[in-house]
Amino acid sequence: SLVLKSSTAQRRMPVIGMGSAPDFTCKSDTREAIIEAIKQGDRHFDTAAAYGSEQALGEAIKEAIEVGLVSREELFVTSKLWCTDNHPHLVASALRKSLRTLQLEYLDLYLIHWPICAKPGKFSFPIDAEELMPLNLKGIWGALEECQRLGLAKAIGVSNFSIKKLENLLSFATIPPAVNQVEMNLAWQQKNLRDFCKANDIIITAFSPLRKGASRGPNEAMDNDVVKDIADAHGKSSAQVCLRWLYEQGVTFLPKSYNKERMNQNLQIFNWSLTEEDYENISQIKQQRLISGPTKPQLKDLYDEEN
C-alpha cells in the first residue's frame, strides 16, 4: 500500500483495487463479485456516482462486514463526483448522496471524475456540447477540501487531469490532491505524468490497466506480441505482465474482473519482476490513448495534448 500524504492521518491506499465501472458485456452480479473479491483479499474498491455500481458495492460491503469477512477500517473505498455536480454548491450534497447509496459514513477517497462541468441535472452519457459550462475548479476544490475537513472523505483527489491542470490545481489548493486517477497501461504509459505526480506526491491510480474494459477493438496491451513474449518467458499471463509493470512504476491500479480465477490471477503479481530486457521491449510498444473522454463531440483541450 502507498501513503496518501495529504489525507487525514496519512492513510494508506492498497496498491491493487477492484474497479466497478459498467461493462455492458459483463452480465455478472457486482454484489457477488465484490464479496468474492473481499474473500480473495481485495481491500480497495473503486466506484463513481456515474457507474451505477455504488448500491451493489455498498450492499456487498455491508454483507461482508456483517458476516465478519472484513471491517470497515480495513477497506479503502473511492467514489467520484460526476460532471453535473461539478459546481461548488453541489459537491457536498453529491458526496452525501454517494455515502447514502453506499451505506457508508465516510469515503476513503473522493475524486473529481473529469475536469469538465456540465449543467446541473440529470445524468447523461456522453455529455452533449450544449450541456457544457466553464469549470470553477477553485470553487469545487474548496468544497472538496471542506468535505475532507468534515470527515466525509479521508482524502480528496482528481481523475483525468493533465499535468497542466494539476499545476493549476496545486497553485491554489490548501489540501493538495492525494490522487490522480487516469488511464494508464502498457499501451498508454504516460511517463511525463508519472514523473510529475511522483515529484508532487500525487499517487496515480491507473484505470483500464489491462486496456480491455471500455474498448471493443483489439487490445493493444494484453494482445501485444511484446507482452505475450514477456508473459511466456516468465510463465505468467499477459494480464499479469500488464499489472506487474504498473506495480513497478509505483502506481496503484484497478483491474476489474468478475471472474473468480482471473480475479485471483490479478492479485498474483508480487513474487517476480520484469528484467531490463523486458523494459527495452516494453519501450517499443506503440502508444495511444484509449479513452477519449465523456463528451460528444470530444473536447480538444481535455488532455492538453500531453503524454
Residues that bind ligand A2P (CB under 6 A): 19, 23, 26, 208-213, 237, 239, 255-259, 262, 265-266
Instruction: Give whichever of 27 and 122 is closer to ligand A2P, judged by the CB atom.
Output: 27
Task: For residue 276, give the C-alpha cell.
Answer: 531490463
Q: How far is the CB of 116 from ligand A2P (least distance, A)?
A: 21
Smallest distance from the beta carbon of 188 to ligand A2P, in angstroms?
Answer: 11
Least separation in angstroms between residue 78's CB and ligand A2P is 15
254 neighbors 209 (Cβ within 8 angstroms): yes
Quick one: 185 exposed, middle or buried, by C-beta within 10 A (0-12, 13-18, 19+)? buried
Q: Which residues contact 186 (CB under 8 A, 6 or more apart)?
A: 211, 220, 221, 224, 227, 241, 242, 245, 282, 285
**Smallest distance from ligand A2P to CB 91, Å:** 27
If you search the block for the grid coordinates 530486457, which residue do you land on?
Answer: 277
Q: Is 110 a catalytic residue?
A: no
The least CB distance from residue 156 to ligand A2P, in Å, is 24
Place of cell 455504488: 54
Residue 152 · residue 110 · CB < 8 Å: yes
Q: Residue 43 and residue 16: Cα distance in Å, rounded?
A: 8
Residue number of the CB atom closest to ligand A2P: 213
The least CB distance from residue 96 to ligand A2P, in Å, is 28
- Report the C-alpha gap between 84 and 95 in whole angstroms: 13
C-beta closer to ligand A2P: residue 44 or 211: 211
Q: How many CA atoms lie within 13 A of 112 on its CB side?
A: 31
257 vs 281, beta carbon nearer ligand A2P? 257
When the beta carbons of 224 and 237 are compared against ligand A2P, the nearer one is 237
All three cell numbers of 27, joined, read 452480465
3-class secondary structure, 205: strand
Q: Which is nearer to ligand A2P, 13 or 175 (CB)?
A: 13
Helix (H) or strand (E) segment spanning residue 253: strand 252-253
Q: No. of H helices and E strands in the chain?
A: 10, 13
Residue among 79 and 208 whose Cβ is closer to ligand A2P: 208
109-112 vs 156-159, strand pairing mode: parallel
Q: Cα-flanking dihedrals φ and ψ of residue 183, to 5°?
A: -65, 125
Catalytic residue among 51, 106, 110, 247: 51
Active-site annotation, residues = 51
